[in-house]
A and B are shown apart, each in its own frame.
Chain A
Amino acid sequence: MSLDILNHEPLRFLISFALILFLVLNLAAILTLAERKVSAYIQLRYGPNRVGPRGLLQPAADIFKLFTKENVSPNRADRWIFLAAPIAMFIPAAAVWLVIPFAPEAVVADLNIAIVFFIAITSIGALGVIMAGYGSRSNFSLLGALRGAAQMISYEVPLILSLLGVILLAGSLSLVDIVNAQSGGFWHWYFLPQFPMFVVFYIAGLAEARRVPFDLPEGESEISGGFMVEYSGMTWGLIQASEFASMGLISALHVTLFLGGWQPPVEFLDLGNFDWIWFGLKTALIMFTFQWIRWTVPRLRMDQLMDFGWKILVPICLVWLLVTAGVMLII
């Protein structure tokens, strides 16, 4: 088969989409294993080591188990909302991967408004949480959903504001352009001039991916699972997959926006066609820090979470945005 077929735009898009879906699902599977291994390492245990060599096949076993389990839904649940919620959570988390540039040519859709696309699509994820909590008809889920709604909407503000500095510097909304603007060694990467934004994006990203210390919608010790308390089997698996996918997504965006995407840290480490290795390494590093935090710190309370978002993160963003704009005006 000749590669001409790839020039056929709709077909190329379909194949790429299938590849991305494959990648995201695998990423979620690998991340479950990584999560357990990292937590085991932090907690001085071994972690899963029975299925396959060094426990590497554990995710396969997990997924098989989830597929064989019955999908129980509460009697009084709003059935359609209940079933649609995991899908509404997973699709946005997977869809944004379409605009992430893995390497110079390896991007499914090089949208010129990729950042706007990201902002628009991730907001739908919050809807999934609300649907899951509301559809379950349980007090615990309802509280979880309300927390989730409040949290994800509040933290979207600093998340978006922290992107603006990068957009100003790069002068483009396209992720490929932003990465290209950071070429030429790590001192050109935006995490240096935009350091406060870098930190804010990291924190808001944690909240957006519902990771500890911002896992209030889940809050397993007080509301014992929150919005997903009633889910079981593969619907639960899909929620988990979407959480891991969005965690990977936030890491990938973090790398793209602030850590130079596929760019090597110094010129002579350029890997040519294998630039995606740099992208993968940096993303893995960010994901590792996410897990590190997950297994070290306790959870915030709802009021503290709101205070932190609105009184600390948003002002930092606004001030630094002003500074960036001012400096750009002068230079």
Chain B
Amino acid sequence: MPAVRPALAELRARIGQIDGTGARQHGVLPFGVRELDRRLPQGGLSLGALHEVAGGGQGAVDGAAAACFVAGIAARMKGQVLWCVTQADLFAPGLAQVGLPPERVIHVEAGDDISVLAAMEEGLRHGGLGAVVGDVARLSMTASRRLHLAAKGSGTIGLALRRWRRQADASDFGQPTAAMTRWRVSELPSAPLPVPGIGRARWLVELIRARAGDSFDLELEACDGAGHLRLPADVADRSAAAAGGRHIALS
């Protein structure tokens, strides 16, 4: 949490109660990366809210990095995860490697976006799940508002993974929705290695929109085996070994 004056904090709480951001009731999930958490309004992703994630460039179609980013968030939540999709190309061993083992994920394969949204809402209203993820292309204001209210009622975090059939459709991401935050995750060249090979994946994580917060972008190292992101060693201004703590280095 950034240090704020008590009066300001109280005012924010009151505004939060009025506009229903819900962070006060349900708490937040910090990323564990100080650079990232410091810039988020409540010091993390608010639980009991809807968040949107999309891939950048080619990722708008395949949504691979966005899926890993979302899986990393879901992995750090407690309990079962409901993952609703229309295209069945999610590879469970890949999810297990970012900390989401198959016994924690219930997959739902629906025929169209509307069924996905309905399944997500059902999952969010249930309240017993850790997180609810849905691969959706179109997310209207009404649909996102329903999801957000369902999430707020139960305290479950909702993650809408935006993914389109064609890259041109990704302009849809500019349309307003009721989501608390909107992220774009794009692949970057991996961490350089002294030997031939591919190092730990890196992402450009952009917070495009946040309610009551500023947008920013940050270069981060991809999720490790427990779903934690990490600041690249050359950016963090310290050696990778010193970054230790709760980050498990698995690259």
A binds B: no
